[in-house]
Amino acid sequence: MLKAIRQRGYETIAAKYGVPADKILAYFHYHPTYYHLHVHFTHIEWGDINRSCVQLDEAIQNIELVPDYYQRATLVYSIGASMPLYSVIKLHTQ
């Protein structure tokens, strides 16, 4: 599925905007920044990946090398103090 998303995204961007795949940064957010998976395709000159994002190519490689990688991995993310999840986590870690 991820390979199909990557291929179709690159093809669509190339056809519509003339930007080749080697100029595109594809990545997605993971919990808790967003509660559903969605892939971003950004021009490399405008791309700004934060710690709660995973590059699509990296995720594909991780799954190919270790099929249950994301069931076993520890994913690091940042939560702002103004986010509702922050108070929940703070309450349960005190």
Output the six-digit token pair for 83. Answer: 């986010």
Q: Can you tell me whether residue 79 is helix, strand or coil?
A: coil
E strands, the chain, are 24-29, 39-43, 53-55
Query: Which amino acids are annotated catalytic?
Result: 38
* DSSP 8-state code for residue 75: P
